[in-house]
Amino acid sequence: MGKLPRQGIDWHEVLHRLMSIMRRLPNHLEHGIVGSMTTFPHPLAQFVYSMYQLFNANDVALYSEVRNLELEAVEMLGEILGCENCVGMITTGGSEANLAALYLAREHGYTKVYIARTAHDSLFKAIRLLKLEAIEVKYDSYFRIDPDDFEKKCVENGAGILVASLGTTGTGSVDRVAELSNIAKKCSVVIHVDAALGGFVIPFIDAKLGEVFKFQNVVSATMDPHKLGLVPIPAGGLVVRDEQWFSPLYFESRYMPARYQIGILGTRSAGSIAATWAMLMYMGWDGYRRQALSLFELTRFLVEKVKSSGFDVVGEALAPVVCIPTERESKALEYLWSKGLYVYRCGIVQGIRVVIMPHVRREHLEAVVRELRNFVNTEAL
C-alpha cells in the first residue's frame, strides 16, 4: 500500500509497476473513449510540452520570454473569439479559468452572477468559493439561456455578471451572446463566456455566434487548449478584454525577483504555454476550421443514426456534443461501459452523452447506437 520504502527500489521496478497499471487504463487510441472532452494530444504539442515543462512560468523575471509567449498565445485565442489585443493567461483548465474570471468580476464590484443550470459545474464551484450571489436564469427547450427570463431577472436585480456558454457541457448548446449582450447593456451586466469546448469549433463555422468579444460588455472568456486545441492536460485559457480588467490577477510575491506572480497558482509549468502557442501556430485558422468541419460531419452522422434508430437527441448539438435521453441513465451507462464504450452523463437531463473528439471514429458512433439498441432490447426482456 502507500508506504514509503525505507530504501528506494530499483527504477526499472518502479517503471514496471507503473507500466502494468497503465496498460489497464483506457486510452484514446485503442479504446472507446467517446464521452469526455479529452483527446489524444498532437505529438508536436506533447514534444513541446516536455521541452518547456521544467520552466516556471510564474518566475516572470527569469522567464519573461515565456510570459511573452503566453501573451501571444492568449491573443491568438482571443482572435478566434473576435478580440483584438486581448490579454490573459494559460491556466490548468476550464475550472481555473472560470474561477479566475468570476474572481475578476468580483474585484471589479460585480457580486451577482446570472447563471443557468446549463453552465458547467466549475462555475457553481467558483460562486461557492468566492461567496458570490447566484441568480438563476431559465433556459429554453434548446438548453440556451432564455433571453426573456434573463431580462426579467436583470431588471429586478441590477448589475452583475452573466455566464454564457459556447457549447454547454451537457448538450452542446450555444447561448446567443448577441441577444443577451443587448439585454445586459440595459442592466449594467457584464458577460463571461465559457467557450472551453465550443471556442475551438463554433467560431470556425459561424462567425456570428463565435465572435463574442465584438460585444463590448463581454469582459472575459474561457477557452481550453486541452480540449479541442489538441494540447496535453493541463492547459486552459483565460482570455480577458484588457489589462485593466485583468489586473486583479497580479499578486504580490515579496521574495520573487519580479515581486509579483500571475494568477491563482504559484509555480506553473511553461509546458502548457509553449504547447498552446505551438499548436495555435501549427494549426492556424484553417487547421482548426478543417477539424471543426470534420467533427460537425460526424456529429450530424451520429444525430441521424440516433434518430433513425428510434432514440432522441436533446438540445441543438451545435458543438460536437450529443445527449441521448434515457430514464435508465445509470443502467445504460453501465451497459455501454461493459462493452468498452465510455460514454458520460448529460448531467442537465437523464441521458447518455457522447462527445465527438478528433480521435472518435464513425465505427465508435455506430457501436454506441447499436449497443444502446441492444440495451433497450435486453431491458425489455
Interface positions with ligand 0PR (CB under 6 A): 36-38, 93-95, 98, 120, 122, 165, 169, 194, 196-197, 224, 236
d(CA 306, CA 18): 39
- Tell the smallest beta-carbon distance from residue 289 to ligand 0PR (Å): 21
Spatial CA neighbour of 215 closest among 182, 175, 246 = 182
Shorter beta-carbon distance to ligand 0PR: residue 60 or 201: 201
d(CA 223, CA 98): 10
DSSP H or E run through 291: helix 270-308
- Tell the smallest beta-carbon distance from residue 120 to ligand 0PR (Å): 4
Shorter beta-carbon distance to ligand 0PR: residue 348 or 369: 348
> Residue 214: CB partners within 8 Å, gap ≥ 6?
82
Shorter beta-carbon distance to ligand 0PR: residue 60 or 212: 212
Shorter beta-carbon distance to ligand 0PR: residue 174 or 280: 174
Dmax over CA atoms of the chain, in Å, equals 70
Shorter beta-carbon distance to ligand 0PR: residue 127 or 187: 127
Shorter beta-carbon distance to ligand 0PR: residue 151 or 194: 194
CA-only gyration radius of the chain, Å = 22
Shorter beta-carbon distance to ligand 0PR: residue 280 or 357: 357
Shorter beta-carbon distance to ligand 0PR: residue 357 or 369: 357
- Tell the smallest beta-carbon distance from residue 5 to ligand 0PR (Å): 31
Peptide bond before residue 234 is cis, with ω within 30 degrees of 0:
yes
- Tell the smallest beta-carbon distance from residue 93 to ligand 0PR (Å): 3
Q: Is 317 exposed, middle or buried (0-12, 13-18, 19+ CB in 10 A)?
A: buried
d(CA 351, CA 16): 39
d(CA 143, CA 133): 22
| 323 neighbors 168 (Cβ within 8 angstroms) | no
- Tell the smallest beta-carbon distance from residue 255 to ligand 0PR (Å): 29
- Tell the smallest beta-carbon distance from residue 197 to ligand 0PR (Å): 5
Peptide bond before residue 320 is cis, with ω within 30 degrees of 0:
no
- Tell the smallest beta-carbon distance from residue 171 to ligand 0PR (Å): 11
Shorter beta-carbon distance to ligand 0PR: residue 60 or 104: 104
d(CA 235, CA 94): 8
d(CA 125, CA 113): 12
- Tell the smallest beta-carbon distance from residue 210 to ligand 0PR (Å): 15
Q: How many residues does the structure list for the chain?
A: 381
Q: Is 162 exposed, middle or buried (0-12, 13-18, 19+ CB in 10 A)?
A: buried
- Tell the smallest beta-carbon distance from residue 230 to ligand 0PR (Å): 14
| 203 neighbors 213 (Cβ within 8 angstroms) | no
- Residue with the three cell numbers 441521458: 351
